[in-house]
Amino acid sequence: MSNLRRRTRDGGWQWLMIGVLLGIGFSAVICLGSYAAGLLTFNVGPAGPELEPLAGPTALVSEVAELPSATPTHEPQVIIITATSPGLTVVQPTPTPLPPTPDTSASPTSAPEEEEVVGTPFVTPTDSAMLTGAVSPAPGGMDPLLANLRTRMELVSGGDFTMGTTQNEVATAVSECVNVYKGACNPSFAEDSFPPHRVILDSFQMEVTEVTIGQYVAFLNSPAMGPGSHLNGCLGQPCAATRAESESSNLSFDGTVYSVSDVLAKLPMTHVTWYGAQAFCEAIGRRLPTEAEWERAARGADGRIYPWGNTWSPELANTNRRDNTGLPTSSGPEQVGSFPGGAGPYTQLDLAGNVAEWVSDWYQPNYYSQTDASGLNPQGPVTGTTKVARGGSWDTVPFFARAVHRQDFDPLTQTLFLGFRCVSDDVPALGTGGSTGGAGSVIPSPTGVVLPTQNPNITPSPLPSLPPGG
């Protein structure tokens, strides 16, 4: 009985295995048949992103992904995944080529990033019409950057002329100042312009315009000067005041670079000491004019009282009386050359008004009565405590803008109404006439001809005791 039960248990296990095998085979036959009939599909593509369950059999899901491509210029592909029955079908649209885009990856041929420019280390001086253009070899080995600051000059012919003023001219000027322009003028203001005396000058050249802030910024930023030079870099003395020293200065300094805004770059340089003016002129191979040279340039050979003639015209200069109302009308300097109608006999501009101009001479109130004041090329007193300034300014009444008037200031004065211009002893060859520009070239210019800005009706006054006619 025990042997019978053992065979029965062994036979049941065999029948179980036979059943399993038959089931597997039957299932395989069914699957193969379904596949052959198209009733069953298998997705063997690469595994994609994990998808959330679809809301229903007709729901659509859109995903944006960038497909691998041999060229990186194709538009990123839109992969649309659509729910179907019984499976999912992936539709991949044909790529649409786009214009090539720059490769932002680092490479040896990549262009360097543009650096931010801080400050204004160099400003183009004055107006291009006042420059010669290309820079020729600098005279005497001068730094080309400094040579390029040399603006146009015009010849001032030398000769014999009467310097100073007369009692009659002063009386007329005082009356006009008090009665027309409501100024507080007094004949004593002109005492240092007596007596008239005869002077002989060699020809020279004078810059057409006053030196601008833009030019001076470039000078301070030049290798010959450098950061902080405005404090003591001009003949061992201060050059000019920046905004740190004077709120009314237009010159900025950040501790490294001097700068001025484009809007202010063509204003005349102010807040400049006498030492700062002289150092600039010397740096570009020029110098400050003597007092006699300045007066010759403003008066011409016919001894006029103003650069344009003997009658004051408010519209021809920037003074504190720009009309005949007798009320102050100016609040500061204007761009150099803004009054072309007020040009002098040798075409220089702004010799009356805008800013008063430093000259090289020391000041003495009684110098005109001394022997040294007359004769050939007077240089002024040997020493003194103040320096002469000429031309009046935007802050004065016309009385101070007369070509014969003298003012004096401490050479360390830094103010909004005081600037300068330079002169040169280099003149064109005899008989050629002309003017020299920024690089020392000669520009033909007729001489001995009445220019449009001159008054052909002026009567010369050879007698120092009489005022010029006109």
Residue 316 domain-assigned (yes or no)? yes
Domain count, the chain: 1
CA distance 360 to 278: 8
Confidence of residue 158 (pLDDT cuts 50, 70, 90): very high
CATH number assigned to the domain comprising residue 189 = 3.90.1580.10
For the chain, give the mean pLDDT. 75
- Tokens (6 digits) for 403: 């070509």
Residue 13 domain-assigned (yes or no)? no
Sign of CA dihedral 224, 226, 230, 236: negative
Of 327 and 256, the structure prediction assigns the larger pLDDT to 256
DSSP state of 211: P
Residue 284 domain-assigned (yes or no)? yes
Which CA distances in Å does 394 have to 241, 263, 335, 351?
Answer: 19, 19, 12, 12
Confidence of residue 10 (pLDDT cuts 50, 70, 90): low
Residue 134 domain-assigned (yes or no)? yes
CA distance 219 to 279: 10
User: Is residue 2 over pLDDT 70?
Assistant: no
Which range among 106-115, 182-191, 282-291, 425-434 shows the weakest confidence by mean pLDDT? 106-115
Which range among 99-108, 206-215, 385-394 shows the weakest confidence by mean pLDDT? 99-108
Question: CB–CB of 193/405 below 8 Å?
Answer: yes
Residue 35 domain-assigned (yes or no)? no
Residue 93 domain-assigned (yes or no)? no
Of 77 and 226, the structure prediction assigns the larger pLDDT to 226
Nearest to 161 by CA among 300, 33, 266: 300
User: Is residue 431 over pLDDT 90?
Assistant: no
User: Is residue 204 over pLDDT 50?
Assistant: yes
Neighbours of 346 (CB within 10 A): 26
* Domain extent for 142: 128-443
Nearest to 269 by CA among 414, 395, 122, 392: 414
Q: What would the mean pLDDT of 43-50 be, rounded to a whole number? A: 43
Residue 286, CA atoms < 13 Å, CB-side half-sphere: 32
Residue 184 domain-assigned (yes or no)? yes
Whose structure tokens read 């009985």? 1
Residue 228 domain-assigned (yes or no)? yes
Q: What would the mean pLDDT of 56-70 be, rounded to a whole number? A: 35
